[in-house]
Amino acid sequence: MKRLVLLIVIIGFSYSCSNNHPMTTQVQVEQGLIKGSMDGDVLSFKGIPYAEAPIDELRWKAPAPKTPWEGTLDCTKFGPSPMQTSPQAFFMWSEEFLIPAAPISEDCLYLNVWTTAKTTDDKKAVMVWINGGGFTSGSGSVPIYDGSELAKKDIVYVSINYREGVFGFLAHPDLTSESPNNTSGNYGLLDQIAALKWVKANIENFGGDPDNITIAGQSAGSMSVSYLIASPLAKGLFQKAIPQSGAGILPLAPTSSSTFANTLSTAEKTGLAVAKQFEVSSLEELRALPAEKLLTASVRLAPNIDGHVMPKSPAELFKAGENNPVALLTGWNENEGLAYGPLPTMDSFKESLKSNYGALADDMIRLYPSSSEEELKTSVADLARDQLFGSQNYTLAQIMASQNQPVYVYRFTRDVPAEGAYIGFKAFHTAEVPYALATLDKVNRPWKESDRQLSGQMSTYWTNFAKTGNPNGEHLPNWKSFDSKNHQVMYLDEKSNTKELHDAKRLQFFYENLYLNQ
């Protein structure tokens, strides 16, 4: 009898461990075997195809499942980056913020995984990074998105590519007609959803937990995170979200006809203009155009409210409670509203507020004063920051808090050390990324020890949040949660601390008048 019990125990133990395999540079995924590389304790797998190449007849179609391959696929180098005009360093962004791995190709649906898991049963938290770039540029291979250091903080880190610009967001009446969902234009978002489905299905083989996934991104990547939170097609694919500087929920002003996402009909008109620009009259001709020629399209494209990926506007989905309920870590940077054009006069600034805000103009003039040249300069920059980023992420924080989700808000205020042409940009747009992803060493700046300490704090906050939904941990300044009454925000700087959001009245004004009352 004892032998029988012992045999049952042994069989049961063997069965429970049957899926627990040591991690090696070879990993089995749904489509076949892949080979990665080891650097110290970090295993990396780069250029994993998660969908078929969106070329030829698959151009401007939803991503198709990747056909299985035979043998072992080499995944030791990044796959091609999405089609985009040749990226160049400009303004405050040196090449480390912008330049993806070559080549650049329409065949771009690849992702990358970094892990320190020892076995496939480690169940590490997973973070999936979605790059910024205004929906027209960028790649998961841009240096500041490298995942090696975050993987060392005990998570599995994934960066993805998605179609951008005319390839990712072109809508057209004929594309809508041929679609089984009667929609067109949101191919880049569909790519992101396909990548998340791939991650959920395969990440356990890299030691990740498919039920503990955080999506994160900055700028257009942050807006993507916001739209994925809202989209019914992304339900169940992630549990937490980190949108950094961007949400695309509010119009820029009451007179704006929509948020950053146009209606499908408006997007289709833009698509017709593209076809006219290239003097083509059919989808067949449009799909036959060389990718390089399509890059010259004189339009700027972004997601649209297509009735499928986005059944309604993000604001409508959030108000109806139809969004994905997620724990949220979100914020924006202090100097994201730097003005590049000539400074308006005091009178013209006030006139623009009256024109854009109508009955709310007096409130706006009081919130953004311009009684002196210095005050005008500050208000112009602050307004640009708040319209594009501050009010957007603040509103998303308020929404998630109202849905009783854990919410943590930051304000990145560190003046980034700089030399030469990069002096004077302070806490600029995207400046927080190399701090949060622990990639300071990828960026050529005169970093101080305080910057490395801040990066250590931020990257630990980010990975703690990915693990538990709470950024706090040992040896870290306490980060108080945000709610609708107590606007507690973590100010991230050489000395980080939580305090009341200093300009909450401004952001609350946007939230109440452009969201609640719309």
Kind and range of the H or E element at 160? strand 155-160
d(CA 235, CA 484): 25
The pLDDT value given to residue 122: 97
d(CA 310, CA 285): 28
| Per-residue confidence (pLDDT) for residue 257, from 0 to 100 | 55
Cβ contacts of 359 within 8 Å, gap of 6 or more: none
**In the chain, what's the furthest Cα-to-Cα distance?**
94
HSE-up of residue 448 (Cα within 13 Å, Cβ side): 11
Q: What is the pLDDT of residue 10?
A: 35
Alpha-carbon distance 233 to 187, whole Å? 13
Assess whether the previous peptide bond of 103 is cis (omega < 30° from 0). yes
How many helices (DSSP H) and strands (DSSP E) are in the chain? 17, 16
Helix, strand, coil share of the chain (percent; to 5): 40, 15, 45
Residues 6+ away with beta carbon under 8 Å from 98: 87, 88, 89, 133, 137, 138, 142
Give the architecture (CATH level 2) of 30-516.
Answer: 3-Layer(aba) Sandwich (3.40)
Angstrom distance (rounded) from CA 427 to CA 434: 12
Contacts with 147 (C-beta within 8 Å, 6 or more apart), sequence order: 44, 112, 113, 114, 129, 157, 158, 159, 437
Angle at 124 between CA 454 and CA 214, to 5 degrees: 65
- Residue labelled with tokens 């694919």: 237
Catalytic hit among 81, 139, 219, 224: 219
The predicted model scores a pTM of: 0.95
336 tagged catalytic: yes
219 included as an active-site residue: yes
Please give the full DSSP string across 204-259, using - where no structure is assigned. Answer: GGGTEEEEEEEEEEETHHHHHHHHHHH-GGGTTS-SEEEEES----S-SSTT-SSS
Q: Is 152 exposed, middle or buried (0-12, 13-18, 19+ CB in 10 A)?
A: middle
Q: Which of 149, 336, 391, 455 is catalytic?
A: 336
Query: What backbone phi and psi angles, to 5 degrees, belong to 490?
Result: -85, 115
HEC readout, 113-158: EEECCCECCCCEEEEEEECCCCCCCCCCCCHHHCCHHHHHCCEEEE
Q: Catalytic residue among 429, 432, 455, 487, which?
A: 429
pLDDT tens series, the chain, 518 aa: 444 333 333 333 333 344 688 999 999 999 999 999 999 999 999 999 999 999 999 999 999 999 999 999 999 999 999 999 988 888 999 999 999 988 999 999 999 999 999 999 999 999 999 999 999 999 999 999 999 999 999 999 999 999 999 999 999 999 999 999 999 999 999 999 999 999 999 999 999 999 999 999 999 999 999 999 999 999 999 999 999 999 999 998 887 655 567 899 999 999 999 999 999 999 999 999 999 999 999 998 999 999 999 999 999 999 999 999 999 999 999 999 876 678 999 999 999 999 999 999 999 999 999 999 999 999 999 999 999 999 999 999 999 999 999 999 999 999 999 999 999 999 999 999 999 999 999 999 999 999 999 999 999 999 999 999 999 999 999 999 999 888 999 999 999 999 999 999 999 999 999 999 97
Q: CB within 8 A of 59, min separation 6: which ones?
A: 106, 167, 287
